[in-house]
Structure 1
Amino acid sequence: MSHRFVIQRHHASTLHFDVRLEIDGVLVSWAVPKGPSTDPAQRRLAKRVDDHALDHIDVEGRLGTGTVIVWDTGTYEMRTEGTAAEALANGHLTVELHGQKLGGGYAFLRTGGDDWLMIKTKDDAADRHRDPAQDENTSVLTGRTNDDYA
């Protein structure tokens, strides 16, 4: 069964990427300071943050002191045994993304407290030479950048 995901590029006091997966009626969220990688050798810190309502999935623009763009969006499928809630509780969730910028498997591994790692799995979508978080900074919805909303 496919569910929705969104990755928002959020420039507030610091730049980070909010990775949000639709799980049990909310957007379960992680803040990823360096953004997602397509290189399986890269381990990205992912801080678990508050869940968001589903209507936040297409939020873009100026919010408070920062700006947000929908950097990537699409659907995902669970690759972990059991339910997503069980995987979150166990601290190991693996999904397959079907986005406009990202595809293939990604694992979320809890390392302690709210600290997790986001790791690209070794699959056909892995690419150690591509750095989309650094090089692809426009909204998939509007083509705008964070600077356009500043």
Structure 2
Amino acid sequence: MPATGTLAEYHRRRDFERTREPRGATPAASGGATPVFVVQIHDASTMHFDFRLEADGVLKSWAVPKGPSTDPHDKRFATPTEDHPLEYRSFEGRIPEGEYGAGSVIVWDEGTYRNLTTDRDGREVPFGRALEQGHVSFWLNGHKLHGGWALTRIRQEGRREAWLLVKEADRHARGGGTPSPQRARSALSGRTLRQMAGGAAEEGGR
């Protein structure tokens, strides 16, 4: 099936005969359920966190080099990447050498979120529209991340688009930043990146 909609770039970059990443042929229709989020650690050419929020039938995605911080004073740089299919929220494994994003992936955190973005009159702004306008506020209910957060676009034209991911100052705010990605464990499987890479290598050798 040819790539359509907002997943066209996702499909263009991947050979699904080689990678086990989900194909996600088309964006999913909104079912009215609580939207999901996922934060994956990706040990690619550069170690980073991938922060993804469900909107308009896909996972809107940002690469966050240092990962999300629970300290409101830490403003974390985030670079938008291509939309991913909703099935990607549970993807873990190793993307093979030679493929886009080659390296190990674990789900560091996952859960649901609530849109907190409002206009000047206090009315909720649809999440997809708010993203287009360059600012969203939301409440995360995850295994590790909780409370209010905000994503704000700080650069759009002239150079590569850039956003900031910031924790709101609420009861879930904490100092100390983000744990070391090398020591972090998956919220789904409990495995580390090293264990994920070793398991994938063993499986591939059978």
Residue of structure 1 equivalent to 2:48:
16
1:142 to 182, 185, 189: 189
RMSD across aligned C-alpha pairs, in angstroms? 1.3
State the identity as a percent. Answer: 47
Q: CA deviation at 1:41?
A: 0.2
Partner of 1:104: helix, strand, or coil? strand
Is the aligned partner of 1:93 residue 2:130? no
1:102-132: CA deviation from partner (whole Å, max 9, x where unpaired) = 0001100001122000000000000013x33
Question: Which structure has the highest strand share of the two?
Answer: 1
Q: Which shows bigger deviation, 131-140 or 57-66?
A: 131-140
CA distance in structure 2 between the aligned counterparts of 1:105 and 1:134, rounded to whole angstroms:
22
The alpha-carbon deviation at position 24 of structure 1 amounts to 1.1
Shift of 1:89: 1.1
Do 1:37 and 1:133's aligned partners in 2 also have CA atoms closer than 8 Å?
A: no
More contact order relative to length (CA 8 Å, sep ≥ 6): 1
Q: Is the 8 A contact 1:30 1:49 kept in 2?
A: yes
User: Unaligned 5+ residue runs, structure 2?
Assistant: 1-32, 97-101, 119-124, 198-206
Measured after TM superposition, the shift of residue 133 of structure 1 is: 3.5
> Which one of the candidate residues 155, 161, 166 is aligned to 1:119?
166
Amino acid at match of 2:111: G
SS at match of 2:186: coil
- Listed as ranges, the gaps of 5+ residues in structure 1 are none
Q: Which residue is equivalent to 2:175?
A: 128
* TM, length-normalised to structure 1: 0.95
Once the two structures are superposed, the pairs formed by residues 1-150 of structure 1 within 5 Å of their partners are: 2-64=34-96, 65-81=102-118, 82-113=125-156, 114-129=161-176, 131-134=177-180, 137-150=184-197
Superposed structure 1 runs of 4+ greater than 6 Å apart: none
**Aligned equivalents of 2:138, 2:179: Cα separation in 1:** 19
Question: Match for residue 11 of structure 2?
Answer: none
Please say which structure displays the higher CA radius of gyration. 2
